[in-house]
Amino acid sequence: MLSLKYPQFNLGFSWIIRLRCGYKYNTTITIKMGRVSEDCPKTCPCCCEGNQSFEHWIFKCDALASFRWNSLNFIDDLYVLFARKIRMLIYLSSYDSMTDFNDYINYYIYLFLLGGTLALNELHFDCGEQRQLNELLFKGLPVPKIVGLAEFLTSAIPIISSSFELLFDKYSKLPNVTKSVDVVLIRYNDNTGSSSISTKGKSQL
């Protein structure tokens, strides 16, 4: 189990399992839940431009570029392999733009990174090509590159979540409630070796 071998990326591994189950994280769901108003933006809360999708956060989001650079620097090699394979199967002209074609490739890389063989089967990767992919992901490395997705998500999810929370708070349909603030004073008496703690409660409504 990779999660036992790399416990520092457990947050990322748990999210990979969610994503395999089709988990979505976006404004549309939150509007349906009645938490935010209809005018809440549906663009990425991190860069304010892209889609609210894991394909965007993994492949494109500028706000997460440093995490991508650190953890997913093998994506370009995967892109070359998948693009070569896809060009053999379809005509580029069947897409409206190069962006559409890139999105198509990224979709299959995304499926591949989540595990399973769906992407490889759909694109008819033969045994030799699958071996080439495995060598790219695992060969001669202290940490398998595939762990990079878990590492990326472990870094990126807190940023994505906190960005969403700021956005949802701004468009919240729920009344704003200022939480009470407790001021705790701690005194420590070195001379007697005893400690005393006093607490002043102060609330703002």
What is the binding site for Zn ion (CB under 5 A)? 44, 46-47, 50, 61
H or E element, residue 200: strand 194-202
Cβ-based nearer residue to Zn ion, 46 or 149: 46
Closest CA to 129 of 168, 84, 71: 84
- Least CB distance to Zn ion at residue 60 (A): 7
Closest CA to 76 of 115, 109, 125, 50: 109
In angstroms, the CA 118 to CA 122 distance is 6
Cβ-based nearer residue to Zn ion, 3 or 102: 102
Closest CA to 136 of 79, 58, 53, 62: 79
Cβ-based nearer residue to Zn ion, 125 or 152: 152
Contacts of 55 (CB under 8 A, 6+ apart): 103, 106, 107, 110
Cβ-based nearer residue to Zn ion, 71 or 147: 71
- Least CB distance to Zn ion at residue 171 (A): 18
- Least CB distance to Zn ion at residue 65 (A): 10
Cβ-based nearer residue to Zn ion, 54 or 112: 54
- Least CB distance to Zn ion at residue 62 (A): 6
- The answer to whether the beta carbons of residues 78 and 71 sit under 8 Å apart is no
| 123: amino acid identity, one letter | L
- Least CB distance to Zn ion at residue 68 (A): 11
